[in-house]
Amino acid sequence: MRDKRLASWGGLLVAGAAMLAFLTACDEVPLTATTGSVLFISANPTAIPAINGVSTITVTGFKRPEDGGGPLSDGTQIFLTSNVGVIEQRVEMTNGVAYGYLRGDGRAGLATVEARSGAGIAATLEGEERVLIGNAQGINILVTANPATVGPPDFTSNIVATVFDNSNNPLSDVPLIFSTNAGALASQGSILRTNQLGQASDRLTLENEQSATVTVTSGTISGSTTVARGNVNNPIVSSVFPSSGAPGQTLNVTITGLNFLPGASVSFEQGIAINSVNFISSTQLVVNITIDENARIETQGRTVTVTNPDGSSGSLTDAFLIITPGAAPPPQITSLNPNQTSARAPTPDTITINGQFFQNGAVVGFSPNQISVTSTTFLSSTQIRITILVQPAPGGPAAGSQFDVTVINPDGGTDTSIDAFTTN
């Protein structure tokens, strides 16, 4: 009899433990709004910075009249989502109100925020009620490719995205995603962030594709550029150095370009004899020439043509000029250091222009004229140092704008380097 009583008590204890476990499990089930409840949602402020910006999302809820009306019960769970920025996934109501915080994570765009609780019970910030993150209408992404036409040996291009606002101020620490419709990107779709100059870069490689469009996005804002594959069958002549000589002169001329083949021949047009062509690489030839003593002095440069053994050819017009014997050759710009801005007015930038045949008293100009040259220092025939001021916003050049640089010697000799300088 005693054994039966013990067994009965044991069964009650087991049942009680099971009930306690059931009640505990029930307590862990999130409390959500009942059928027919209504939610309302609002945001304050409705515009926040893309970085460290915060907007308070307020959700209020009411029961249906059949359930007595009034605010939803304390502890009612509200689930929040947003397409831009980051937000808490779940908040609780107190006195019928719950608060969540939408934070900018660097991406710009219009945030559509949704609040849910229970089956089919939702409220959404949409249309004009959405939260503007990062002043989306005032953020720009400029995408450039260097070079825009790729060739051997690696068929790669450096893609640079510059992020700036409508006042031309660069935006740092902005997350960007580079994508392409062809070829391969070094980033492989990972998130890149802009530096202090507002720039992030990626590397595109074309394999067998003829072109690719690279798109850079941050939230709902994007920019793009196109990279094309050059004609690898024809040589490309990009520069000739030096680019002038006098009648009777014999000199070595370096030709730079693409797709040169061993055995290539070179022409400087009538009156200039080709003594030898030394193949250095697929991108460089060194040609020894002699200019006829009776060659006519010209103001228009001659066309230099490279012809490969397979018959393909490429030319550069206005590439070599015959000058008056004894006359100083025109200046030749080879590079700028640095070749982009680090500051805007009133802070000056100091630039060194490298080249040859510079004369004391040479002047330097930028086109378009949004960059002012405040001082020019002649260092040598191969270097000029200048101080510049870049026009500030508004009215100043956008980040990523390219400028031609011109050097004019006192005797009138001139050289212009196209797209040699970039503003940040």
Place of tokens 């802009």: 194
Percent of the chain's residues with pLDDT above 70: 89
pLDDT of residue 152: 63
12 exposure class (CB count in 10 Å sphere: 0-12, 13-18, 19+)? exposed
Averaged confidence pLDDT in the chain: 85
Buried b (16+ CB within 10 A) or exposed e, 366-404: beeebbeeeeeeeeeeeebebebbbbbeeebbebbbebe
pLDDT of residue 326: 67
Give the alpha-carbon dihedral of 287, 293, 296, 302, to 10 degrees: 0
- Enter the tokens of residue 336: 């700028």
- Residue predicted with more confidence, 216 or 380: 216
Percent of the chain's residues with pLDDT above 90: 44
Q: How confident is the model at residue 21 (pLDDT cuts 50, 70, 90)?
A: very low
Place of tokens 């050759």: 329
- Residue predicted with more confidence, 118 or 263: 263
Mean pLDDT value of segment 163-183: 84
Asked if 275 contacts 288 with a C-beta cutoff of 8 angstroms, the reply is yes
Condensed to tens digits (0 to 9), the pLDDT of residues 313-368 reads: 899 988 888 887 766 778 889 999 999 987 677 778 899 999 888 888 889 999 88
From the list 219, 212, 202, the residue with the least C-alpha distance to 180 is 212
Q: How confident is the model at residue 20 (pLDDT cuts 50, 70, 90)?
A: very low
pLDDT of residue 15: 45
pLDDT of residue 18: 46
Cα 346 to Cα 390: distance, rounded to the nearest angstrom: 8
Asked if 237 contacts 219 with a C-beta cutoff of 8 angstroms, the reply is no
Cα 392 to Cα 168: distance, rounded to the nearest angstrom: 8
Is it the case that residue 13 has pLDDT exceeding 60? Answer: no
Is it the case that residue 392 has pLDDT exceeding 90? Answer: no
